[in-house]
Amino acid sequence: MPHRYSLSWLLAALLPLAATPVLGDDYTQARQHLLSEIERDAQDTSLYLDREALDPRVMAVIGRVPRHEFVPANQRSNAYRNRPLPIGHGQTISQPYIVALMTDLIEPQPDHRVLEIGTGSGYQAAVLAELTGQVYSIEIIEELGEQASKRLARLGYDNVSVRLGDGYYGWEEHAPFDTIVVTAAASHVPPPLVAQLKPGGRMVIPVGSRFLTQQLVLIEKQQDGQLITRQLLPVRFVPLTGGHD
């Protein structure tokens, strides 16, 4: 009889689903899709960057860090879109492709000590923490810094220290750093950050006006202290604020 046939068909279709073990969280697929979008962006920008793909270690981390934990509840459904999202106080969590690219550019190593300026949600800090030894991150907006610090602790990132303050001046007590990642746009490269970068170290920073497009700049400090500076890609970040000019 037709209705029996359809019932058993339905059961047959549902049973394998019920028996499938649930791996990871509900966002596993969304993160996989995000990875393919980042791969496409990397190909689209390959002429700027002189490479076709990002470091597989970085991609694996982006495929694992729960970005939905770093966005406000009303943005969770957008957490794995390849877009910046509002996190309050007029600030944003950066676009995942840009987070991946900046992480790739500093060539992270497990023994690295990293300084991040602009903790924001803590997402970039978490990505860095997965690939390096210790991350020091500075945030100027008290509430964001406190929230990010608690969030990172709750998620088990015990190799991240967050401090409130003006990141323009760096974090002298823990200098020098193997790498420095600045996630807010500065009108110029802050000299204190250059001073706190190890010889042989790398810094990535968006430089330019707060109203126009900025350039993502990669700075390599040679063993003799000389700087090699490369402008890589037009980008758009929220401005680096604070008392300096």
CA atoms of 219 and 111, how far apart (whole Å): 20
Chain centroid, CA 14 distance in Å: 39
Q: Which is nearer to ligand SAH, 96 or 228 (CB)?
A: 96
3-state secondary structure at position 118: coil
CA 102 from chain centre, in angstroms, equals 7
Q: Which residue, chain included where needed, has tokens 């009303």?
A: 74
- Closer residue to ligand SAH (CB): 114 or 238: 238
8 is catalytic: no
Strands 177-182 and 160-164: unpaired
What's the rounded Cα separation, in Å, for the pair 105 and 49?
10
Q: Which two tokens stand for residue 212?
A: 């126009």
Do 143 and 151 contact (CB within 8 A), yes or no?
no
Least distance to ligand SAH from the beta carbon of 53, Å?
A: 22
In the complex, what is the shortest distance from the CB of residue 32 to ligand SAH, in angstroms, rounded to a whole number?
21
> Treating both helix axes as pointing N-terminal to C-terminal, what angle do 123-131 and 142-154 enclose, rounded to 10 degrees?
40
Tell me the C-alpha distance between 76 and 80, whole Å.
8
Q: Which is nearer to ligand SAH, 42 or 102 (CB)?
A: 102
Whichever of 16 and 219 has its CB closer to ligand SAH, that residue is 219
Rg of the chain over CA atoms, in angstroms?
Answer: 21
Q: Residue 241 CB, nearest distance to ligand SAH (Å)? A: 4
Q: In the chain, helix, strand, coil percent, each to 5?
A: 40, 25, 35
In three-state secondary structure terms, 205 is strand
**Identified catalytic residue from 8, 46, 77, 94:** 94
Which residues are near ligand SAH by CB under 6 A?
91-94, 117-118, 120-121, 123-124, 138-141, 144, 166-168, 183-184, 238, 240-242
Q: Which is nearer to ligand SAH, 121 or 202 (CB)?
A: 121
Closest distance to ligand SAH from the beta carbon of 184 (Å)? 4
Residue 218 beta carbon to ligand SAH: minimum distance, rounded to whole angstroms: 17
The residues annotated as belonging to the active site are 94
